[in-house]
């Protein structure tokens, strides 16, 4: 695909534009027990495993699900303080990629974020981390009520963007999402820590 035929880049967030703690890139919960007295293993078992799919597809409110879990596991910790810690520590930006996206946007390529997020973090990454400053729109799972790699996610995003599937190049770090995007008619790049946007696009 030549650059002239690429009308839009659809970019995943976690693992592509954002990866881990700003300090060192480690997982946001690495020091959760030390910092907040909350076991990440128990949090995964009691919160993320049973509730996350519903939260990230907009069927369950984050605070509604989280509050009783924290009351049981860490009664000293408010939901507001936990969420603030989580979001702040899951915010290391891929500045090289962001600069590349800004370059392509200046050349006329539309830039969109296509991500699995719940409402509060979607707002955080758009407003606080300012990812909305270089994106034409942010398409996220809780708002669409379906998440990648479901084929409906790609169909809805294609329709909302008013683009043809073949005009879209998708960046994602998860192979199942790449496969689903290709099945939807998108071009796709499996993003890794060694990827360079210009080189990856040229290889298409």
Specify whether the CB–CB gap between 181 and 170 falls below 8 A.
Answer: yes
Count of alpha carbons within 13 angstroms of residue 62, beta-carbon side: 13
Per-domain residue ranges of the chain: 3-18+93-203, 32-88
Q: In the sheet where 110-115 sits, what is the strand order? A: 137-140, 110-115, 8-11, 168-172, 187-190
Tens place of pLDDT per residue across the chain (204 aa): 444 469 999 999 999 999 999 999 999 999 999 999 999 999 999 999 999 999 999 999 999 999 999 999 999 999 999 999 999 999 999 999 999 999 999 999 999 999 999 999 999 999 999 999 999 999 999 999 999 999 999 999 999 999 999 999 999 999 999 999 999 999 999 999 999 999 999 988
Strand partners, 169: 9, 187
Q: Is 172 helix (H, G, I), strand (E, B) or coil?
A: strand
Compute the radius of gyration of the chain from its Cα atoms: 18
Domain over 3-18+93-203 is classified CATH 3.40.50.300: no
pTM for this entry: 0.94
Measured CA to CA, the distance from residue 141 to residue 113 in angstroms comes to: 11
């Amino acid at each position: 695909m030549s650059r002239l035929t690429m009308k839009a880049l659809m970019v995943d967030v976690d693992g592509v534009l954002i990866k881990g703690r700003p300090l060192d890139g480690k997982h946001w919960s690495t020091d959760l027990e030390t910092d907040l007295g909350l076991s990440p293993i128990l949090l995964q078992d009691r919160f993320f495993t049973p509730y996350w799919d519903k939260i990230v597809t907009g069927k369950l409110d984050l605070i509604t699900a989280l509050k009783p879990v924290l009351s049981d596991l860490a009664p000293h910790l408010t939901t507001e303080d936990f969420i603030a810690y989580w979001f702040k520590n899951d915010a290391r930006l891929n500045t090289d990629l962001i600069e590349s996206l800004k370059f392509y946007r200046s050349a006329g390529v539309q830039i969109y974020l296509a991500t699995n997020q719940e409402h509060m973090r979607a707002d955080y990454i758009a407003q606080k981390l300012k990812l909305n400053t270089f994106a034409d729109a942010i398409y996220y799972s809780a708002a669409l009520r379906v998440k990648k790699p479901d084929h409906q996610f790609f169909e809805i995003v294609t329709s909302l963007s008013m683009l043809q599937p073949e005009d879209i190049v998708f960046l994602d770090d998860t192979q199942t999402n790449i496969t689903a995007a290709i099945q939807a008619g998108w071009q796709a790049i499996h993003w890794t820590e060694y990827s360079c946007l210009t080189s990856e696009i040229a290889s298409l």
